[in-house]
Amino acid sequence: MTDALFCWCRAGFEPELAAELTERAALAGLPGYARTERGAGFVEFIGEDGTALSRALPFDRLVFARQKLLRLADLRGLDPTDRITPVLAALDALGPATPFGELWVEHPDSDTGKPLAGLARSFGNALRPALRKAGRLTAQDDPRRPRLHVVFLGGHHIVLATSDPDDSAPWPLGIPRLRMHPDAPSRSALKLEEALLTLLDADERERLVRDNMQAADLGAAPGGWSWVLMRHGMKVTAVDNGPLRQALLDSGRVDHLREDGFQWQPRRRLDWMVCDMVEQPRRVADRMATWFREDWCRHAIFNLKLPMKKRWEETRICLEAFEHQAHRPLLVRARQLYHDREEITVFATPRQGPRT
């Protein structure tokens, strides 16, 4: 039986993830403790039953975790000349099991972890055939089966873990590889692209992101988020006293209103509202709740800029206040995205059926 979760996060936000895991586990009646170091890029949460912890802490409810893994073994003091034998032995010690569908060999996305990239890549090339020969890995990658993660924390230190494709991020380290488009007005475009990819599933993207939808972008300048919505076929009202890139205005799909995003309201209900305004997170959460309470939009994506201290506490307070003040049942997903910095991104939409 596994006894720990292993979660990737943004380097420097380990205390926030540790606090989140500790609080959520305690509320589920599964106490444990977090182990990490600031700047490490990951948090281990140790309890009596890692499987029970994983069920109680579904990945799509976690805010500061980029990825959620179930730790299988912690291998230390490895001989650099033969790391494969102890990996196979550790898997054998877990008993017989169906083969894993994929092998991901990873390293922390941190200053100390990035130099391990070459070692991780070469070790994966050597380990993959050995796992297949031992019957621990399918002959061809099968993304429907649980994955095996081999995590290098040092040349002599490996963590073995597994992830459920239905309860984890579909990318190594939980990081989608997006490229900055040369026509994008700002790098903030990557945040909204990642939010649509991360916070909505494939069915939701097909249903909710369609041509000729009507959208508003609050705090739009210089236009990165408006540009993303426009590229998805939407007609956008960009609200900001600052200037937009001329190419957006020339597209014929973006109207610029020089108004305050906290004061402006649409004349009729819109399909989407997005907001990346730099303001106190509680004030933003309150305004976002107004949009849903007044039924000004069907769906929203917005950012909450976090304070320097007590960031998990502030996150919880803002999300709880947002849902309460909306005065309607909402489906809310929040995540600190790879392209976020001192902030989190929130997706909200009316909940279908009774609230769970």
The packing angle between helices 117-133 and 84-93, to 10°, is 50
**188 annotated among ligand-binding-site residues:** yes
Question: CB count, 10 Å around CB of 233?
Answer: 12
**276 annotated among ligand-binding-site residues:** yes
Beta bridge partners of 163: 147
**221 annotated among ligand-binding-site residues:** yes
**240 annotated among ligand-binding-site residues:** yes
Active-site annotation holder among 114, 305, 309, 310: 305
User: In the block, which residue shows the tokens 């102890």?
Assistant: 86
Question: CB count, 10 Å around CB of 247?
Answer: 13
| d(C-alpha 1, C-alpha 220), whole Å | 50
CA-nearest of 243, 224, 226 to 235 is 226
Is beta strand 102-106 parallel, antiparallel or unpaired with respect to 214-218?
unpaired
**56 annotated among ligand-binding-site residues:** no
| d(C-alpha 142, C-alpha 161), whole Å | 17
CA-nearest of 304, 283, 296 to 347 is 304
| d(C-alpha 18, C-alpha 195), whole Å | 23
Residues in the chain: 356
CA-nearest of 59, 16, 9, 38 to 306 is 16
Our answer to whether residue 114 is catalytic in this structure is no
Q: % helix / strand / coil in the chain, to the nearest 5?
A: 35, 25, 40
Residue 134: phi, psi to the nearest 5? -85, 0
| d(C-alpha 296, C-alpha 292), whole Å | 6
**223 annotated among ligand-binding-site residues:** yes
Residue 193: phi, psi to the nearest 5? -60, -45
Annotated catalytic residues are: 305
Q: Which residues fall in the annotated binding site for S-adenosyl-L-methionine?
A: 188, 221-224, 240, 260, 276
